Amino acid sequence: MNQQEILKLIEGHPHHKLKVAVTDIDGVLRGKFMHKDKFLSAVKSGFGFCDVVFGWDMNDALYEDMAIEATGWHSGFPDAEARLDVSTFRQVPWENHVPFVLGDFSKHDGEDFPACPRSLLKKIIAKAEGMGFQPLFSQEFEWFNFAENNSILEERGFTNPKPYTPGMFGYSLLRASENSDYFHDLFDLLTEFGVPLEGLHTETGPGVFEAAIQYSDILEAADRAVLFKTGVKEIAYKHGIMASFMAKQTADLPGCSGHVHQSLWDADKKRNLFFDSAHQDQISEVMRQYIAGQLFCLPYILPMLAPTVNSYKRLVEGAWAPTTLTWGVDNRTVALRALPLGEKSSRIETRVVGSDVNPYLAMAACLASGIYGIEKRLKLDTQQTVGNGYKDLQNGVLPSNLLEATDYMKSSDVANELFGEAFVDHFTKTRIWEWKEYSKHVSDWEIKRYFEII
């Protein structure tokens, strides 16, 4: 449907209200119900949304030091101008098909609001399109499911949650059949919600699932990924389940990925520019430059791919997540997995990304760093890794924690060039805040280790 058809549908919709939402810096949806008359007016002129959504963290604690000048006690937390994107229209099938529309922020003069993740991605897309590229992306997620009630689990301090299914049973048709109501609802309701899945299966680990979302234009892919995470949680609640997208639930099990698949096509989307039958491994020069760009930029953009303290507990050797700055063909131990699978399917999988990521920022980071390599005509001098990527140190290793990664990004001219100084300043301050909040906390490990013996 075009915009006029969507607006006409909304105008005549039996619901008199809609859900509208934006994402904060952590990728958490922040929204409200809006009367459809207000919505139809807001489509034309925008509407005010309190800019505190960029002045507090995921637990609504106010940041100490923010770069976005309008956000803070000093300004009284005014409204920022939000714009609704009618093309994101969906209906929520598990809520009686109430209409749903995503939006993003812009300044009153029409410029992008520097802290808005979706606006940042749109800015990177515009640059790619200006270079003659049409990016097609998709994301896949692993996540844990628990047979828990959020109120009861919170009372227990989120300790010892009960897995939805027992045992280590990846790709299990038995477990999928045992829990077929939930499985079918995930696949069918998400598709009806405009988030079509390519595949859904159990992953190794108790109660772990994995889903791959169908590929699309990059902005639609990011919208789908954001809506997938909240959609899964809402569908899970209907089944008495809590879904968790933490990157690392426990030291005893692998972490949860959010791998981003990406390719560049020509302006008409008829030719995959990552494929070249005449080149070695059918990897085109464009794809080689794109890989070189990501490898070069990864240390300076890592917080956008691994945004929490917990993210780095996943990026450890032997846990199906990369630790080195490496690439290889169909190699699951490297940071960048090249998949030269023919004219239609040739792509790159960035395996650093965890399930706890903000999809808008992850895809912006992947695309910006990739086209940086093309723009700078970087040579892929690093040899591809054959075998164990954990042992291939030829190009160095990834930063090992959120503070180290944020320091790299904060002092990087590369990050400023890719995303702009205002975004980098704001985003890195939010990551430093996250690290400080973590550092204040006394963990169970510390108590067990030091309480008596020390």
CA count, 13 A, side-chain hemisphere, 353: 29
Per-residue confidence band for 284, with pLDDT thresholds at 50, 70 and 90 = very high
Tens of pLDDT, residues 4-16: 999 999 999 999 9
Q: Tell me which fold the domain 3-115 belongs to.
A: Ubiquitin-like (UB roll) (3.10.20)
Count CB neighbours of 85 within 10 A: 16
Tens of pLDDT, residues 137-174: 999 999 999 999 989 999 898 988 999 999 888 999 99
- The predicted model scores a pTM of 0.96
Domain boundaries, the chain: 3-115, 128-447
Q: Average model confidence (pLDDT) for the chain?
A: 94
Tens of pLDDT, residues 351-363: 999 999 999 999 9
Measure the CA angle with vertex 27, ends 88 and 239; round to 5°: 80
* pLDDT of 266 higher than 70: yes
**Which of 106-110, 115-119, 223-227, 306-310 bottoms out in mean pLDDT, i.e. has the lowest?**
106-110
User: Which of 346, 295, 303, 301 is closest to 324 using CA atoms?
Assistant: 295
Tens of pLDDT, residues 229-259: 999 999 999 999 999 999 999 999 999 999 9
- The mean per-residue pLDDT over the stretch 174-181 comes to 90
Given this model, what pLDDT does residue 67 score?
56
* pLDDT of 401 higher than 70: yes
Q: Give, rounded to a whole angstrom, the gap between the first and last alpha carbons of the chain.
A: 67
Count CB neighbours of 105 within 10 A: 22
d(CA 342, CA 366) in angstroms, rounded, equals 22
User: Which of 426, 438, 444 is closest to 25 using CA atoms?
Assistant: 426
User: Which of 349, 363, 257, 357 is closest to 303 using CA atoms?
Assistant: 357
Tens of pLDDT, residues 17-54: 999 999 999 999 999 999 999 999 999 888 999 989 98
Given this model, what pLDDT does residue 74 score?
74
Which whole-number Å values give the CA distances from 110 to 81, 337, 436, in the listed order? Answer: 9, 38, 34
Tell me if 310 sits within 8 A of 246, measured CB to CB. Answer: yes
- The domain 128-447 is placed in CATH, from the list 1.10.10.10, 3.90.1510.10, 3.30.590.10, 3.40.1000.10, at 3.30.590.10
* pLDDT of 110 higher than 80: no
